[in-house]
Each structure stands twice: as structure tokens, then as C-alpha cells.
Structure 1
Amino acid sequence: MTSTQVFFVIFFYFLLLLLISYLTAEKGENQSKSFFTANRSSKWYLVAYGMVGATLSGVTFISVPGTVGKSGWSYLQFMMGNMFGYAIIAYVLIPLFYSKKLISIYEYLKERFGMTSYKTGSFFFLVSQTIGAAFRLYLAVMVLQLAFFDDYNMPFWVSVLSTILLIWLYTFKGGIKTIVWTDTLQTSFLLLAAIWTIYTITNELGMTPSSMVKTISMSQMSDIFMWDWKAGNFFWKQFFAGIFITISMNGLDQNIMQKNLTCTNVKEAQKNVLWFALAFFVATVIFLSVGVLLYEYAFANNIRIPERTDELYPTLALNYFGMFTAVVFLLGIIAAAFSSADSALTALTTSFCVDFLNMGDSRNSNKKRKIVHIMFSFILFLVIVVFRAINDDSVVTDVFKAAGYTYGPLLGLFAFGLFTKRKVRDSKVIFICLLSPVLSYILNIYSIDLLAGYKFGFEILLVNASFTVLGLMLISDKK
């Protein structure tokens, strides 16, 4: 694709998002209420479908197909655990949050433990969400830099600023109400990109639908179950990690739960979560299938596999599959970037406004809310530029993984609040929540030496949460 073609694809896609923003944004004094909760009037099926794109993100869009060459379909073990996690969200957390009519889910911690716990929970979300959103957007902007901005010798910070400005323009007014609709559009482009890639490859290799299914199922890259208990992708590690990571990074994440809480009532929200879980599982299978076919295509045409597997899909889509497929892929990666970043930006704004500025859905809060929205847009810009300045992908990835440790204290706090009746010394909670990730990180580094060769995978989250629960027990009593 030429840079001019890339420009027009981005331009017309952005105009479409801007049109949706204009049509969905609340007019008048109720802008902040609509920004935070969409007036609790969203249709569950729209939320469920749109959340697929927001959850997939650019990381999944690019990385999941690429990792098939190394890990096969073992990622599906994690997704099986996800399904159980979403059931817990639907039947435990959704009724709790709706019964208390929460805007920010961390308001529960204020009622259960006190103000320090409340601020601590929200702070951990803000840190992890900022780093996570910046990392996901960083990967997508790198693709846009290669496809467009490099041809005009524009520095990386210009592409970052341009991307964030586009996202800010269509979210600053409509907020979560706009996100529900734009996510629906962006999910469609994501799935279209994957399905069209499958069609392109099977057509190029002369496969029928039945031979394609046979090729995928017979491939060694389609192995799902891993039974080496020491390995990071051992089945039970992945399965249980899938359950608790889903609870902590979806059920206890303002970004995801804010969308669930826009549904009309509890039953609608529960249907949304369960149908979303099923749709997300199917979407993951599609992307894993894309991964197998990408490698089959590369082998058949003697194309060198990039050292970084994340580059496999972009390399083939932009250079080997023809113009239309390149356009569809570009729309997919833009949709992935925008879908995860726009909802993250809205969630960060909501959490800070409600949890730290006590704004709620006040009719007089529009000006402050817009200032906060600009502030977090700028913070995302700075974090991405810093990632680029580090210029070491392994370091950037480690920063992203480290941000995941902040979900352990959140899981511990909510678990302790839900399953015990003990009262904690609120002022000491922040120290427990800061210490738990540090202990977990140290244990993870030395686990092979300390635990007879055992290597932690995603289940380190459970260890992190356990440290938090143990610490809370030490600073609590039965009153």
C-alpha cells in the first residue's frame, strides 16, 4: 500500500467514528451522566458484541496469530478458564454493583473498608490501565508509523499525537455512550480482517473449506493441551489463571465493567456478559486459525518467518496478500488500536472524576470532566513516547507485565470484602497493597530455585492476591 492510500483509509474511518460520536453524544446538561453511564440504557447485545473488539485489542490481533508457531493453541486453555470467570462476574459481581448503583466500581471499597482502601483500589486501576492502554496503543502506532508516517519522515511522536488526538475527538463528548456504538463498528472490522485473511490464504493455497479445517486440525501448531506441570503453559495453570485473571482484569476493571453497567438492569447485564464470553471465545479460535494458516502460507511460499512473531501477520498482510486484504488488515489494526484505547481513556477519565474528584453525574461537572479527559490523553502520549525512547521491546514488555501485578491487590481486596466480614485498619491497606506485588515479583524471579524447578505463569496473580488477603487478615479484626 502507498502512504496516500493508507491516509485515505484512516481519514474515512475516522470520519465514520466522528459521525457516530455526533449522533450518540448527549446534548445539554446531562453530558457527564451520559459520559459515565450512558444513562444505563444500552442494549445488551450491542455491548456484548462491541466488547469483543475492545477485549481483543491490538496485542491479540497481532500477537495471537504469531505465537501459534511457538505455543500452538495452548492459549485456548486460558480461554477455557475465562468462560468460568465470566460466569462468576455475571452472577456475583454484576448483581453486587447494580444493587449499589455504582458509577465507579471502586466505590464498593469505600463502603466496605474505608476511604484509603477506596483510593488505593482506584489508584492501582489508574496505574495498570494507563500502562496497559499505552502498551497496546504503542504496538498499533508502530504499524501506522511503518505504513504511513515513515514515508513522510515524520517522527514517532507525531504519529502518537495524531492517533491520540483522533481518539480524543470522538470520545471527549460522548464518553461511554459513544464507545458502546464505536466498539460495535470496530469489532466488525476486526473480525472482517481475520475472516478475509482466512479467505485470502485458502484461496491462494487452493484449499476448500473442508481441506482448510483438516489442515488446521492436523497441524502440530493446533495442539491445545500441555501437561508438563513445570511449564508456564501447563493446562491447570492456564485454566485457573484464566478464571482469576478474567475476574480481576475484567470484573474488577473499570474499563470493562463500565460498559456492563450501561445496560438497563441486572438481567440485561448478565446476558451481555455471558454472550460476550461465548463470542470472545469464538473470535479467539478464529485468530488462532489465522495463525496456523499464516505459517502454512509462509512455508508454502518459502517466506522467511520474522524473528519477532508479532511481525508475521503485518508482513504478510501488507506485502503479500494484495491491496484489498492490506486495506482490510489496516482497518482491523486501526479498529483494534482505537477500540482498546478509546474505552481505556473513557474509563480512566471516569475513575479519576468519580473516585478522586467526587464528581459523580453532577450536571455541573462537564468542564472538569473534559479537562481530566485531556489530561489522561496527554499522559498516554507521554507514556508511549517514553516506551519508544527506551527502544528495547523486552523492557517495554516487562513494564506491561509489571502493570499486571497491580491487579493482584484489587482481586485480594474484593475477595476479602466479599467473603469475609472482618473490618480492616483502613490506613494500613495501602502498604499491604504495595507490598504484595513486590513479594510476588521476587517469588516469580526465584521460583525455579525455590520451588524445585516450578515456573509461574499467569497464576502469579493468585499468589499476588493471596499475599494481599493474608496482609489484610493481619490488619483486621472481627468487629
Structure 2
Amino acid sequence: MHWIDWVILILFLGYTIWDGSRRGYHSDNIEGFFLANRAMPWWAMGLSVMATQASAITFIGTTGQSYVEDMRFVQIYLAVPFAMIILCTTLVPFFHKLQNFSAYEVLEERFGLSTRLFTSLLFLISRGLGLGMIIAAPSYVLALLLNFPLSPTIIIIGITATLYTMVGGISGVIRTDVKQMAVMAFGLIFSFYWIITSLPPEVGFSDALYLAGNIGKLDALDISFDISEKYNIWTGVIAALFLMLSYFGTDQSQVQRYLTAKSLKDARQSLLLSAYAKVPMQFFILLLGVMLYVFYIFGSAPITFRAVDVQAQQQEEVIAGEMLQQEYQSAHQNRRQAAQQLLETRSPEQAEAFRKADSHLNEVRQSELQRQERVTGSSLNDTNYIFPYFILNQIPVGIIGLIVAGIFAAALSSIDSELNSLSTVFIVDWYKRLDTKDRSEAWYLKSSRIATVCWGLLATLAALALGETRSIIELVNMIGSYFYGSILGVFILLLWVKRANGYGALTGLISGMATVFLFDRIYDNPATGEWILIAPWNQIPGGFEKTIEYLWLNPVGTAVVVVVGIVISSIWKKSG
């Protein structure tokens, strides 16, 4: 990267730390630190919510997702508008009326301290693990920039975000998120523009869409009902609805946004901003990944986009790598020629030839990734390196720094939000609630900053432990799906099941979590109809696939919590 880009990136990071930190000097109590004295305007909260969602995972993971697969991932966001409307009429006014610090405080009054603590503990675990992924995402970019291993770059990102969140509190988080959202938008729009203008002169935007459509890259809707498929319209409208309701309605990182609102109207408007913008934004980012795929049909692309070359020690692996490299170059040339001929003829026969050439090239790529797995002894792919590789090798000097700053902005806007919410829940639901001593506001404010640092360190360690992984955009949603459905079930019992009591809620919550983890380990063999339960530490036998994909774990968890909660509450009431 050119020194001009380094200057831009360093200035941006320095400004972010300064701007986020200076807001915290005006906080003299935990209400100011965690809730900005409930004085935030709706547009700032709405942009902050969007910035939190549009993390570096969105930049890197979503573009990589559509590059290696297609645009069906957009279907999981179809439920966002419906979820926002439901929440604006239910949980948002409920929380605003109570004026709590934490989303889980209200559970104690109805269901007891144990339910409150266990629910908040589930949030701390899920968000702590998810934050590890959010820290890892920009580290892929920094690893490419510095030609460093992933671990040192994870530490740099984790410490940077922790510093200004520790000082600035929620006010610093929201104010910096607004500015970071602008940088993110610029990075995405310019990248899309540069890809389109960098295509060969004879290939226009409509031609690029035509090529992408021929190989299925534009597939966005799948109307088949199959719970073993990750992405179809039913997954997006039904299963993902539970995920979105829980994420925006019971996750402290999101609830904390509208707890800072001046009024109920402002809180609702902040959520509706996301309802209108989320699906178009995700569609655009997925389309960016598809256009990037078309760009590399004509442009020179490596066989894999990994940050470092895998060095094989065995001679046969070295020879295999050289042969795959030669085959890839030939396949790439054949695919480019097939694409050009297809644009000239637009014939069905040439379309089939193009699809075969594209399939062959991807088979060679997959063979090389498998070779790298054999050499390294670990499961690897290059999904998270694709967009960073394009930026560093195709974008002009000066703009690289701005786009990389946009990726860092996306990461920091998510990391700071998660850190602040983790600190809030730990202090309010655990430390302050269980502390028997009469402490001053200054004491709890100091403790909140210490908690922020501790969570930052823990999340950084989680990122180091997870390290190299498959598509991070999928993994972060998978982590959430293990927890969100069950947490949503507790709030349904709270708001709409009057006969539910603490015994039923806690038993339902434990049952929901157990069921989710059980269902996640069920595999079946479509050829034989056989199904088995596989422990996490056991290898999956050949021919077996997941019976239930991860998004469906959300309604499963919710249903089990509600049903068990009602049954146990009724039994306990009768026995009592």
C-alpha cells in the first residue's frame, strides 16, 4: 500500500479514537456513559443501528458470500421490515416506558433474579463470541496490508476499538458511528463504480448482468420449502423473522440504541430507518460481490485469494500445486474466451459452454483449497480475502486508504457498540445488582470502563481462538441463532402469557437452549433416509447433511421456551 494510503488510514484511525474519546469526558455517571442521558436524536440512533449492522463482516463476508455462491443470502433480510413494525408496536414502547438500563432488568420483577441472570448470561456469551468475529473481519484486511499473520492484526484492531469505547461511552459510540457510516457508504459506492468502469470497453453493465445470470450468480429468490436449505424465501420470511425480532428487540446492543432516545417517537423512527434501508443495502452489497466475480472473468485473478502462500514440505504436494496452477491458468483463459463468445452470439449453446468453463475453473480452485487444507492440516477457504485482494490490487492510490478506512470504520462501529452493550449488561445485571455495598456513581462509572477493557480483551482472545474461518457473515448469524430464539421466547412469556411464572420461564429457557443444540447436531443421509445425532467433536460421515439449517433454530428455540414455559407454569400453579 502506498504511503499516501497509509497516511489517510492512520489519520482516520487517530481521528476516530479522538472523536470517540472526547464525548466521554462529559459523562459523570453511568446513565451518561451507557445511555447518553437519554438525549440522542432519532437520525443519529438510526444511523448508528445501521452502522452497527454494516460491519466489516458486511463489507468482507457478504461480498465474498455472493462471489463464491449467489445472492440468495439477501432472503434472510426480507423479514427486517416486518420485524421492525412489530417491535415498534410492542417492545419499543414497553422498554421506553420502563426507562431501564438493560433489556433484561424487567425479567426479574416477573420471573425472578435467576431468569434475569441466566438470560443476560446467554447474551454475554453470544455477543462475546460474535464480537470475536467482528474483530477478526478487518484483521483479514490488515493481514494483507502488512503481510502479517492474522493474530497480530487481531490484537491491533481489538485494542484500538477498546480504547475509545472505554473513554467515550455510548455517546462517543453513536456520534462516531454516524461519521463512520458516511465513510462506509463511500467505500461501497466507489468500489461498485470502479468495478463497472474497469470491465473491458465492450462489456457494459447489462452485459455483466447477463453473464452473471447465466451462471446463476443473480439467483436471489428460492421458493422451495426445505428446512435443510440455508437460504430460501421461507427461511427469510419465517425463520429469519424470529432472528430479527430477537436481535432488534431483545439484544442489548440494539435495545440500548432506542433506550437513548429523547422520546418514543424518536425510538420508533430510528428503527424504521433500518426497516426501509436494510434490504436495499444488503442487495447492493451482494450485487457488488457478483460484479466482482464478473470482473475477474476478464481480469487476472489468483487461484486463491489467501493472504499468504502455503508452503508445502512434501514433493508430491509441490508438484500438485504447480499442476493445479497451470490448469487454472488454462481454465481462466477458456472461461474468458467463452464469456466473450457468449456476449457476441447470445446463443444457448454458447451459454452452456460458458457455464461448463466456469464450473471447471471453480473445480480447480476448490482442488487447490483442498490441497492447502492438506498442507496446513486445517479447514480453510479464501472467502474473506476476496474483496480485500481486489481493493489492494485494483483501486487507485489515495482511494485505497479511504476504502480501507471504510472497512475499519465498519468494524469499529460494530465493535464499539458490542463492547458498550456487554459492559452495560455486566455492570447493571450482574455487578451492580449483586453488589451488597452502597457504591457511588463515580465508582460504577470507573467499573464500567474497566468492564469495557475486560470485554475487549476477552473478545480479542475469542477472535484469536476462532482465527481462520469460513464466511464470517454466516458464522456470526449461526452464533446468534443458537441463542436468539430462546431469549425471544422468554420475552414472549413476559409480554403475552400472563400465567407464566419464574419456574416456567427458567425451565423453558434451559429447555429451549438444550433443544437448539440438540437439533443442530441432527444429520441425515438423503440417499438412504437414515438420520443420526453427531456430537460436536465427532467427524460427520460421508453422505450425511444437516437436517435443520441454522436459521430454523430460532423458531425452534422460541417455540420450546413458550410451550415448556406455559406447561411448567401451569403444573407449578396447580401443585402450589
The normalised TM-score by structure 2 is: 0.75
Residue 384 of structure 2 aligns to which amino acid in structure 1?
D
In the alignment, what sits opposite 1:21?
A: 20
1:365 aligns with 2:444: yes
Q: Deviations over 1:155-197 (max 9, x none)?
A: 6544333322221221112211111111111111111111000
1:11 aligns with 10
Alpha-carbon distance between aligned partners in 1 of 2:273 and 2:256, rounded to the nearest angstrom = 17
1:207-261 CA distance string (max 9 Å, x none): 79x9536744773222221123233322112221232111112211001111121
Please, which of 183, 194, 201 is the counterpart of residue 200 of structure 1? 194
User: In the alignment, residue 234 of structure 2 is paired with which amino acid?
Assistant: W
CA 1:7–1:453: 2 relative to 1, 3 Å? closer
Residue 222 of structure 1 aligns to a residue whose secondary structure is coil
Aligned to 2:349: none
Q: Distance in 1 between matches of 2:219 and 2:521?
A: 28
Residues 442 and 364 of structure 1: CA distance in aligned 2, closer, same or farther (over 3 Å): closer
| Alignment match, 1:386 | 465
**Which of the residues 489, 495, 510 maps onto 1:412?**
489
1-structure distance, mates of 2:69, 2:160: 36
Distance 1:444 1:365, change over 3 A: closer
1:468 matched to 2:461: no
SS in 2 for 1:12: helix
> Paired residue for 2:60, among 62, 68, 81?
62
How far has the Cα of 1:264 moved from its partner? Answer: 0.5
Does the residue aligned with 2:221 lie in a helix, a strand or coil?
coil
Structure 1 match to 2:421: 347
Q: Counterpart of 1:35?
A: 33
Corresponding residue number in structure 2 for 1:437: 513
SS at match of 1:174: helix
Is 1:219 aligned to residue 212 of structure 2? yes
Structure 1 counterpart of 2:273: 275
Q: 1:10: Cα distance to partner?
A: 3.5
Q: Which residue of 2 aligns with 1:140?
A: 138
Larger radius of gyration, structure 1 or 2? 2
- Residue 90 of structure 1 corresponds to 88
Moved more, 63-72 or 79-88: 63-72
Kept after mapping to 2: 8 A contact 1:349/1:372: yes
Letter in 2 for 1:333: I
> Could you tell me which amino acid in structure 1 is paired with residue 553 of structure 2?
I
Q: Tell me: CA distance 1:130–1:90, structure 2 relative to 1, closer, same or farther (3 Å).
A: same
Aligned mates of 1:232, 1:202 — CA distance in 2: 30
Distance between the aligned counterparts of 1:366 and 1:447, measured in 2?
Answer: 48
Query: How many Å separate the matches in 2 of 1:361 and 1:411?
Result: 34
User: Cα deviations across residues 404-461 of structure 1 (Å, max 9, x unaligned)?
Assistant: 31222201111111120023244x7555434423322332332545699954341221
Partner of 2:478: 401
Contact 1:26 1:34 in 2 (8 A): no
1:9, distance to aligned residue in structure 2 (A): 3.5
- C-alpha contact (below 8 Å) 1:237/1:457 kept by paired residues: no
Decide whether the 8 Å contact of 2:144 with 2:388 is kept in 1.
Answer: no
Q: Distance in 1 between matches of 2:195 and 2:73?
A: 23
Q: Pick closer, same or farther for the CA change 1:76–1:218 going to 2, 3 Å.
A: farther
Are 1:180 and 2:178 matched, yes or no? no
Alignment root-mean-square deviation, CA: 2.9
Q: Provide the C-alpha distance between the structure 2 equivalents of 1:377 and 1:136, rounded to a whole number of angstroms.
A: 12
Measure the CA separation in 1 of the matches of 2:40 and 2:210: 39
Could you say if the C-alpha distance between residues 181 and 160 of structure 1 is closer, same or farther in structure 2, counting changes exceeding 3 Å?
A: same
Cα distance change of structure 1 residues 398 and 322 upon mapping to structure 2, 3 Å threshold: closer
Q: CA deviation at 1:92?
A: 1.0
TM-score by length of 1: 0.89
1:365 is aligned with what amino acid?
Y
Hey, what does 2:225 align to over in structure 1? 229
Three-state SS of the structure 1 residue aligned to 2:90 is helix
What residue number does 2:329 align with? none
Look up the equivalent residue of 1:351 and give its one-letter code.
Answer: V
Is the alpha carbon distance of 1:386 and 1:219 closer, same or farther for their aligned partners in structure 2, counting shifts above 3 Å? closer
Aligned-partner SS, 1:405:
helix
Residue-by-residue CA offset, 1:271-290 (whole Å, 9 max, x unaligned) = 11001221222221221221
Distance in 2 (CA, whole Å) between partners of 1:207 and 1:456 is 43
Counterpart AA for 1:125? F
| CA distance in 2 between partners of 1:345 and 1:476 (Å) | 35
Change (3 A) 1:55 1:187: same
Q: CA deviation at 1:126?
A: 0.3
Q: Say how many residue pairs are matched.
A: 469
Q: 2: CA distance between counterparts of 1:397 and 1:244?
A: 17
Amino acid of the structure 2 residue aligned with 1:320: Q
Q: Matches of 2:219 and 2:473 in 1, distance apart?
A: 29
User: Which residues of structure 2 form unaligned runs of 5+?
Assistant: 305-364, 366-381, 434-438, 525-529, 533-544
Question: What is the aligned partner in structure 2 of residue 320 from structure 1?
Answer: 394
Q: State the Cα deviation string for residues 335-358 of structure 1 (Å, max 9, x = none).
A: 121111111001100111110122
Shift of 1:301: 1.5
Distance 2:94 2:460 in 1: 35
2:243 partner letter: I
Name the % identity: 23
8 Å CA contact 2:110–2:501 kept in 1: the answer is no
Contact kept? 2:490, 2:505, Cα under 8 Å: no
Aligned with 1:357: secondary structure? helix
CA gap 1:232/1:453 in 2 versus in 1, 3 angstroms: same
**Bigger mean CA offset, 96-105 vs 70-79:** 70-79
Structure 1 residues 303 and 268: alpha-carbon distance in aligned structure 2, compared to 1, 3 A threshold:
same
> Alignment partner of 2:225: what SS?
coil
Structure 1, 13-22 or 246-255: larger mean CA deviation: 13-22
- Pick closer, same or farther for the CA change 1:99–1:400 going to 2, 3 Å: closer
Moved more, 309-318 or 444-453: 444-453
SS in 1 for 2:262: coil
